[in-house]
Amino acid sequence: VAKRTQRHLVRYQPAFEREVTERLDLDQALRRALARQEFRVAYQPVCDLKTGLPVGAEALVRWERPGVGLVSPAQFIGVAEDNGLIRPLGEWVLREACRQAGLWRASGLGLLSVAVNVSPVQLADPGFTGAVEAALTDFALPPRALSLEVTEQVAVTDLREAGQRLSALRGLGVRISLDDFGTGQSSLAVLRHLPIDTLKLDQSFVRDVPGEPAAQAVISALLTLTAGLGLHVVAEGVETQAHREALLGLGGGAAQGYAFSPPLPPDAFQRWWLAQMD
């Protein structure tokens, strides 16, 4: 038994150390990546469920890591939040998305709005509102054309404070979206107390329609609730035609997902958009 325990320890130790080392490597590599301009922004269309026509785009960060390839944000946003790099990285994404949206609008693309994800770490930064204002001014983007996506994570420590920060941002004229709705705990309190324009229904709901009556009932009730609150809705993760038709049957709104388009690099996004408008 002693021998087996020992062997277990011997195997466990290096694995743990490897994990720590990998995280330190990632920390260093992310810092270098920002300086070396290895980040990109992909744009995923947001479409009207009924017409299928695009109405906006969500900006999603990508890391082109040399020798590795495209790294998913799921693998580095958490580390960037822990080491604070999310502040400069998030500001870079914000400015890049505003720059691109400004170019598209000026070229007559008809892009109604661009959505940018905002980490709770960024929202807690007193300089964030100023950075948003500067990005809008610098790229001549009308505030209405920018939507900031936050999750209910922003409200875990202090719902009131989060409400005040979001109200200040909304005072600039930008819109606020509540992302991943339905995945957390306190969703209804958050809905009542945060100044929100749009609710993004998490893909975990969408995945099970049609077919699962409970999922349909939840979505249907949420659509009634959001209509009552005067909120817009975007369904996430609409992957198939069946998802799309089921959502349309439940009341519609806007949607995002592979049924319309995956996130695309800017040039491909522009080609896709123009093809839809033909």
Name the binder of 73 from Ca ion, ligand C2E, none, CB < 5-8 A by kind.
ligand C2E
Question: Judged by CB under 5 A, does residue 44 bind Ca ion?
Answer: no
Question: Judged by CB under 6 A, does residue 119 bind ligand C2E?
Answer: yes
Question: Judged by CB under 6 A, does residue 177 bind ligand C2E?
Answer: no
Question: Judged by CB under 6 A, does residue 239 bind ligand C2E?
Answer: yes
**Closest distance between Ca ion and the C-beta of residue 271, in Å?**
23
Residues in region 145-204 near Ca ion by CB under 5 A: 149, 179-180
Question: Judged by CB under 6 A, does residue 90 bind ligand C2E?
Answer: yes
The residue among 5 and 185 lying less far from ligand C2E, judged by its C-beta, is 185
Question: Judged by CB under 6 A, does residue 77 bind ligand C2E?
Answer: yes
**Closest distance between Ca ion and the C-beta of residue 4, in Å?**
41
The stretch among 46-54, 132-140, 170-178, 256-264 that binds ligand C2E (CB under 6 A) is 256-264
Burial of 126 (0-12, 13-18, 19+ CB in 10 A): exposed
Q: Under the rule (CB under 6 A), what is the footprint of ligand C2E?
A: 44, 60-61, 72-74, 77, 90, 93, 117, 119, 179-180, 203, 237-239, 256-258, 263
